[in-house]
Every structure is written in C-alpha cells, then in structure tokens.
Chain A
Amino acid sequence: MIATRDALAPVVDALLRRARADAETIITTAEDEAAEMIAAARREAQAVLAEARASGTAQARAYAAVEHARARRRARRVELAAQREVLEELRGRAVTAVRSLRDDPCYPRLLERLGELARQAGGGDLVVSEHSDGGVVAEGRGRRVDCTLDALAGRAVDALGGEVARLWAP
C-alpha cells in the first residue's frame, strides 16, 4: 500500500502543482477581472457623476438665466412704470393749470373763441353750451365737438409727442 503511495507520490505532486498553478491562474484572472470590473465601475461612476454635474450645471445655468431675465424684466417694468407716472403727473398738472383759466379775466373771451372753433369744425348748426368744468361743448344732430378745458389740456399733452421723453431723459 505504502509502496503504491510512494510510487504515486510524483503524480500526486504533479497533480497538486498543477492544481495549485491552476488555482493561482484562476485567482489571478479573478483578481484581474475584479480589478477591471472595479475600474470599469469607477469609470462608469465617474461618467455618471460628470454627466450629473454637467446636467446640474446646465440646469442651474438655465434656471439662473430665467431668473436673471425675470429680474431684468421686473427692473425694466419699474423704470417704465415710473415714466408712466411722470407722464400722468404732467397730464394732471396740465389739467389743473388749464382749469385755472376760469379765474382769468379773459375767460369769457376764451369761451367765445372756443365756441367759434367748435362751430368751425362741426358746422354752424351746432348749439354751443358752457361745460361745468370749464370750456364749451357744441352739439347738434349726430355730431358733437368737445372743447372742454380738460379735453384741450389732454390734447396739448398728446401734441408734445417725443418731447415728453425729456421728462425722464438723463
């Protein structure tokens, strides 16, 4: 029995060596594969991270752009609203100034002249009457001419055209 075992010893050794060598190869391959897998996973993780970062940055940039646009629009709206208020203020002051003409000694002459102007525009058949807020209104069949002081003040401001922009020009 022992003789047989001794006789087989070289075979056993060889088999063991080969098994060990195979095992080592398998382990090395497995280690290599594992390392490669880890590296691939790391690469993929990095790619995912980079993509997420890029997408996040793009989203943030887009969000910032939208917010920036809205902020600029708000600022511009405030500026334009201020211009509008200035214009309304001018219109209000013009009306007040024109209404004060009622206390002027020449007011009756002005009414007369406005009546003539209204008849000239709308026809001689119009009936002219004084308006309670000042100025005159001429009315006839299907026609009317408004020469009240408020209307005249409004038309005077409208007639300024582009000159109005000097109110808010630097």
Chain B
Amino acid sequence: MTTWAPVEYTGVAELRGPLMVVRGTRGVGWDEYASIELESGEHRHGLVLEVDRDLAVVQVLEGTAGVRARGTRVTFTGSPLRIPVGAAWQGRVCNGRGRPLDSGPPVFGMTDAAVTGLPLNPTLREPPADPVLTGVSAIDALTTLVRGQKIALFSSGGLPHLELAAQVAAQAHTGGAPFSVVFAAMGLTHADAARVRDALEERSSAGELTLLLNLADDPVIERLLTPRLALTIAEHLAFTMGRHVLAVLADMTSYCEALREVSSARGEIPARRAYPGYLYSDLASIYERCGRVRGLPGSITVLPVLSMPAGDITHPVPDLTGYITEGQILLTRDVASYPHIDPLASLSRMMRAGVGGGRTRPEHMDLATQILAALARARQAGELAELVGERALSITDRRYLAMAEAFELRLLAQRGDESRSLEETFNRAWQVVSVLPRRELSMLDPETLDAHYREEP
C-alpha cells in the first residue's frame, strides 16, 4: 500500500559504527525496514534493532560512513522488509537486497511478500518425492536430490564447492516439469562472483534463474537478508506459479559469520565459538522453508553450501546444519578428481522417495546400495593392501580395488561443464559394477543382472 505522506524523522541523536539512534519516533516496531536520505540526496537503508519509548536504533545496511546527524532524514516503512514477488525475478541479477546489478530497472511484481516468510503449515506439508536431476553422475546415482528436500553440500577450503554448486544450478532439471533456480551467493569475492555469473549465464538468459549476489565487501547485515530474499522469491515461484524451484545458498558459513558479527554488535551473549545461541533456530528458519504443499504443484528444494573452517565437520555451522538437513554431499581432498565427492560420507536421506521405476530407473536404489557396499569393501581391501601389499590380497579383493578405481575414473570424474544424462550415468554405473564378479553382486536381482551386467574380462 502506498503511503502518500510518509513521516521523515530528522532527529538523529547518535551515530555509532553501523548504528543510528533516531529520536522522537512514534509507532515504530522491531525489525521494521527504514529508508534513509542523506543531506547529499544519497539513499541508504536500515533495519530497526531496538525500540525504547521514542528512541529507535537503526542498523544502517550500507554503514554510517559519510553520514552527518544534521540533515539526515529517516522514514520507517511500517513493516519488516517486503519485496515484490513474481515472474519478473527470473533472468535478473541483483545484489543481496534485491537491487539490480544488471543495469535493469528495479524488479516489479503484482504482489509483495515479507522476506522473513512464514513457516509452512506442518499439516499441509507433503513428504519430498520425485527427483531433481543435476547432470552430475556422483550426485544423481548415489545421493539423488529429491523435490522438497533440504540437503547440504559440505566442503573445506580450496575445494571447488562453488564451482560444483554453480554446475548443479546450471544443469539441474525436473524432466519436463517447469523448473527454476534461485541462486543466493553470500560473501563471494568479485572473481568468484564473475565465475558464477559466467557459469549461469545460459540459464539466466533462458529466464529460469534468479541470481542474488552479496559480495565479500557488501554490508554484513545485507548478507542476513540474502537467503531470506531468495526463499521469498522461491516460495512465490513454487507455490503460486507451480514451478519446481532449486534454491542454492552458497556459502552459508559466510552467512553465519555475518550473523555472529551482527549479534556481537547488538551486544548479545555469545555461545559456542562466539556464534549466537540462536544459530540453530536461525538456520532452521531458513532451511525449513523448503518442501511441498498438499494440493499445490510446485516444490522448493534447498541446497545450502557450507565451507567447513579447517575442514572441521564438528564446527557449529556444519554441525547444526547437519541436524536440520536431510542428508549431505561431502567434498574431500582424498578424491583426486573433480567433483571430489566422497561417496561413502555422502547421503541423501530422502533418496528412496525420489528414485525407482517411473522416476529414474527401477534398479536405481539397489544399484546405488551395491556400489556403496562395494566401495566400503574396496576401502577395507585398500587398508589391508597398505599392510601386506596388493599381491598378497585375494583375487576378489583385487577386483574390488579395480572396481573402486573404475568408479572414480568412469562414474565420479566429470568435467565442470559436462552434463550427463541419466542414461549415461546408469551406463557408467553398470560398467563400474561389471568390474566385479557376478557372484559378488548380491544386492541386485538376477533379472536386472541379466539385462545390464556385462562382466569385464
């Protein structure tokens, strides 16, 4: 609703760091969005952190550098931040607050929605079902993404998690069903942001992608809004427009560091590793915005990407994320080939609901289980070989080692610009299991083996 005569407050009592104290306010509420006009005519934005009688503490998103108390005017919008929603977001590149970065006009929509969102009504939730295919063999075959699922991508410094996230965002599809991607990038360097934009250009041009870029030098409080903005856009695309939406949130560790910084600025009591005590519920308020709703055709699948500081999976960010998400894809330096996915440490808990006859292939679950069991045996055989030498292993164990090698070379290793069809992934998976003798493939039924197993000499 348009306010034709908004009240501007000119009583700026104090400026401290990113905070601005405004005096003489009336009817201002917590978390309210504010727009600030400087003496020079420049516009900035802020959020209300505290209200005490007629004093309002506003956190200025762009910081208070260059702001003078005299001549600054603050207008409160009367509600938490709302953004227009609709199809106009598709094909646009914006910053973490939704302002255009692509030289275009602001994004308009016929309706608007609060970025804080509302949790899905649990009684209307439908369990995740049907796959989101990524074109990445190791994910599609072994840790299939399921529509409505939240599954995290865990990585550590130096591994190409951003490249993999961009590849998944560029290639993912749901067969013929309408599909969109919302990519929220947080705390990225300019070089990384340029690479992500290049990788996603085609999808963006096709009008199937919304890209929100919050760069490393952007204000931290903007980083707190970015994933919420992305999910608000995704919710409208999914539940009003009936599209299947993949929301990629990269990198959530940057988000959590921003949360820690803002919490510290607010003077809150720090908890584990100085993150605020409400980190778990804050992360849940983001991840739980995925899902499917009874009676509505669309879905939101959330893929948060986390870089684990010093590769520590017990760090609060991956630890708490792991409690909320329904599985993880773990990248490791122990796998030499891109995409560096560790198949034995990765798991999609919803996979059974997304694969099988009519969805992917009838033998999908059995084949994935068989490959994982064989890789576990190969790992044991490899550890034994380190002690006694490969020649001392049984012929069968050596076949398991050969199978693990074939797995990495033929199924896992993939170029960053290579999109594999489901059929090609399955052909490669069958080549991998065909390295083992047929008698070892006890998890696959004989008819399936007759149809696909071709023992390698």
Q: Is B349 an interface residue (CB 8 A)?
A: no
**Which 7 pairs across A and B sit closest by C-beta, in order of nearness?**
A80-B104, A142-B11, A142-B24, A69-B201, A162-B110, A121-B5, A159-B2
CB-CB < 8 A to A117: which residues of B? 4-5
Contact partner, B205, options A72, A83, A158, A161, Cβ 8 Å: A72
Q: Fill in one digit per residue for A86-97: 1 if any B CB lies within 8 Å of its CB, else 0.
A: 110000000000
Q: Tell whether, in the assembled complex, residue A141 and residue B102 are in contact, meaning their CB atoms are under 8 Å apart.
A: no
Across the A-B interface, how many residue pairs have beta carbons closer than 8 Å?
97
Residue B312 lies at the interface, judged by CB distance under 8 Å to chain A: no
- Chain A contacts for B205, CB-based, 8 A: 72-73, 76
**A143→B10 contact, CB < 8 A:** yes
What A residues does B297 contact at CB under 8 A?
none
Assuming the contacts A65-B417, A80-B105, asked whether A143 and B8 have C-beta atoms less than 8 A apart, the reply is yes
A73 near B197: Cβ-Cβ < 8 Å: yes
Q: Knowing that A83-B104, A145-B7, A164-B108 are A-B contacts, what are 19 other residue pairs whose CB atoms are under 8 Å apart, sorted by A's residue number? A: A70-B201, A72-B201, A73-B205, A77-B103, A80-B105, A83-B105, A86-B105, A118-B5, A142-B24, A143-B7, A143-B24, A144-B10, A146-B5, A152-B4, A158-B2, A160-B108, A161-B112, A165-B88, A165-B108
B108-A143 in contact (CB<8A): no
A84 CB contacts on chain B under 8 angstroms? 103-105
Q: 8 Å CB contacts to B: which residues of A31-58?
A: none
Which residues of B from 173 to 201 have beta carbons under 8 Å from A? 197-198, 201
- Given the complex of chains A and B, what is the CA–CA distance between A21 and B139 in angstroms? 66
Cβ A145 vs Cβ B8 within 8 A: yes
Decide yes or no whether B267 CB sits under 8 A from chain A. Answer: no
A86 to B108, CA, bound (A): 14
Contact with B along A105-119 (1 / 0, CB 8 A): 000000000100110
Say yes or no: is B454 at the interface (Cβ < 8 Å to chain A): no
Q: Tell whether A155 is near chain B: CB-to-CB under 8 Å.
A: yes
In whole angstroms, how far apart are the Cα atoms of A158 and B9 in the complex? 21
Q: For residue A85, which residue of chain B has the nearest CB?
A: B105
The residue from A66, A121, A141, A145 contacting B198, defined by CB atoms under 8 A apart: A66
Q: Does B98 contact A (CB under 8 A)?
A: no
Residues of B close to A65: CB separation below 8 A: 417
B43 vs chain A, min Cβ distance (A) = 12
CA A86 to CA B105, docked complex, whole Å: 9
A–B pairs, 24, beta carbons within 8 Å: A70-B201, A73-B197, A76-B205, A77-B102, A80-B103, A80-B105, A84-B103, A84-B104, A86-B105, A121-B6, A143-B8, A143-B11, A144-B10, A145-B8, A146-B5, A147-B5, A155-B4, A158-B2, A161-B84, A161-B109, A162-B84, A162-B86, A162-B110, A165-B88
A77 to B5, CA, bound (A): 35
Q: Which of B5, B11, B112, B204 contacts A145 (CB 8 A)?
A: B5
A interface, over-half SS = helix
Q: Which B residues touch A76, using CB under 8 A? A: 91, 102, 204-205
Are A144 and B4 closer than 8 Å at their CB atoms?
no
A100 at the interface (CB under 8 A from B): no
**A30 CB within 8 Å of chain B:** no
A117–B6 Cα distance when bound, in Å, is 10
Residues on B with beta carbons closer than 8 Å to the beta carbon of A164 = 105, 108
Tell yes or no: B73 within 8 A of A by CB: yes
The B-contacting residues of A in range 59-78, CB under 8 angstroms, are 62, 65-66, 69-70, 72-73, 76-77
For A145, the chain B residues whose CB sits under 8 A away are: 5-8
Which A residues, 123 to 157, have Cβ-Cβ distances below 8 Å to chain B? Answer: 141-147, 152, 155
- Tell whether, in the assembled complex, residue B7 and residue A121 are in contact, meaning their CB atoms are under 8 Å apart: yes
Asked if B322 lies at the interface with its beta carbon under 8 angstroms from chain A, I say no
> In the complex, what residues of B have CB within 8 A of residue A163's CB?
108
* A81 within 8 Å of B (CB atoms): yes
CB distance from B210 to the nearest CB of A (A): 14
B23 within 8 A of A: yes
B356 adjacent to chain A (CB < 8 Å): no
Asked whether A142 lies within 8 Å of B23 as measured between CB atoms, the reply is yes
Q: For the complex, is B202 an interface residue (Cβ under 8 Å from A)?
A: yes
- Which of B10, B102, B105, B197 is A87 in contact with, Cβ under 8 Å? B105
User: A81 near B104 (CB under 8 angstroms)?
Assistant: yes
In the complex, the answer to whether A142 meets B10 with C-beta atoms within 8 Å is yes
Q: A143 to B12, alpha carbons, bound, how many Å?
A: 11
The reply to whether the CB of B117 lies closer than 8 angstroms to some CB of chain A is no
A161 to B86, CA, bound (A): 11
